[in-house]
Amino acid sequence: MENRPPPLTGLTVIDLGQVYQGPYAGLLMAKAGANVIKVEPRHGEPLRAREAVGGGASLPLAMLNSNKRAVTLNLKSPRGVELLRALARKADVLLENFAPGVMDKLGVGASVLMADNPRLIYASATGYGLSGPERDNLAMDITIQAASGAISVTGFADGPPVKAGPAIADFLSGTHLYGAIVTALYERERTGRGRMIEVAMIETMFPTLASNLGMIHNNPDRSLGRTGNRHGGLAVSPYNVYACKDGWFAIICTNEEHWRSLCSAMGRPELADDPRFATNAVRVTHMEETDAVVEAWATGLTRAQIFSATGAHRVPSAPVRDLREVLDNEHMKTRGMLEEIDHPRLGRITVPGSPLRYHGTAQIPSTPSAGIGQDNVEVYGELLGLTAQEVEALRTEGAI
């Protein structure tokens, strides 16, 4: 088997990311072999404050910042600004997810850093983008879910709008940021020039609404209400989460072969030719009856029994797992997506590997996230040639 180096080996990334969005892009780069340097203010990035809460509140920090080296830097001091400019001259990528204009006000915006280093990829992630009438709106995952329309279509028709449980806006935009960075790096290989790139959280959410938007296009007068666990455009049936003896189970039939197979799995092959259910179009018309048939079957079975039946007949389906079941999932562990490490502050924890797999290259094992400024001496010495005494002097004067 090949043993090629990770694809981003040799790249240096200055990661000024905070909370989830920017740090996730940095994590994907670190797990692809880049030398990622996490830069934080002297008091640490906002996620550090959760460590004071105790328990698992600081776990996200550990999950998103493994395999990075950590330095501190005070960008409100002239010397701190000089240091960031010096670091950026040595870097291939700088990523940040501050509010629009913050880096410019500090004197380290894209125009300054790219003038210093024309090969630099300057990556900016914001809530609403660097332009437009809503540019300066405050953005967090829940507010972007709200403003993008995602919350309006989540939940059940007879209940209030509900946010998605996971931080989908943060991580979608972090993933898009990574994609934009590596695209710009590919261009640089051909042109030798860097580029400024940006990703707006609200824009990464819009494509996820495809099914719901289809309802507007096809039925302009139809209510755009919430559909619960049914298809967002109410265009596929069965498509739902059904109650069973020990929890819940998701089943979807996207074509007639799936439906016929489900009928066989349920021991009701005659339903395949029932005029109420013979095609997806009529099943959508008789959605309540379709769901009632499937749930009547599922209610008397366990998740394992349902999965055995649907699996044997190749029906797309899955048990609704709780998070403890996910953490124990053998498939995720076997593929290396769930890694257990010993963390100096949190003890034994599970952190994510990278969903991006590079065949011919072994996965990079996760390392514990660094403490605030843990690598100041090493990084400033390596990149800027500063001695340990000079680094200590910078710390004393408040520059780092």
Label residue 224 by pLDDT band (50, 70, 90): low
Task: State the CB neighbour count (10 A cutoff) for residue 146.
Answer: 15
Label residue 225 by pLDDT band (50, 70, 90): confident
Residue 91 has pLDDT above 60, yes or no: yes
Q: Which two tokens stand for residue 157?
A: 């028709």
Label residue 383 by pLDDT band (50, 70, 90): very high
> What CA–CA distance (Å, rounded) separates 308 from 120?
53
The rounded radius of gyration (Å) of the Cα atoms in the chain is: 25
Nearest residue to 172 (alpha-carbon basis) of 357, 25, 338: 25
Residue 56 has pLDDT above 80, yes or no: no
Query: What's the average model confidence in pLDDT over 109-129?
Result: 98
Residues in CB range of 85: below 8 A, 6 or more apart: 108, 112, 113, 116
* Predicted local distance difference test score (pLDDT) of residue 57: 66
* Annotated catalytic residue, options 231, 258, 313, 331: 231
| pLDDT, the chain, mean | 94
Residue 214 has pLDDT above 80, yes or no: no
Beta strand pairing status for 93-96 and 239-244?
A: unpaired
pTM of the model: 0.92
* Predicted local distance difference test score (pLDDT) of residue 128: 97
The identity of residue 323, as a single letter, is: L
> What CA–CA distance (Å, rounded) separates 24 from 47?
13
* Predicted local distance difference test score (pLDDT) of residue 189: 97
Give me the torsion for CA of 280, 286, 288, 294, rounded to 10°.
-50
231 part of the active site: yes
Q: Are 329 and 335 in contact (CB under 8 A)?
A: no
* Predicted local distance difference test score (pLDDT) of residue 215: 73
Residues in CB range of 314: below 8 A, 6 or more apart: 258, 261
Residue 266 has pLDDT above 60, yes or no: yes
Query: What's the average model confidence in pLDDT over 303-319?
Result: 97
Q: Are 267 and 259 in contact (CB under 8 A)?
A: no
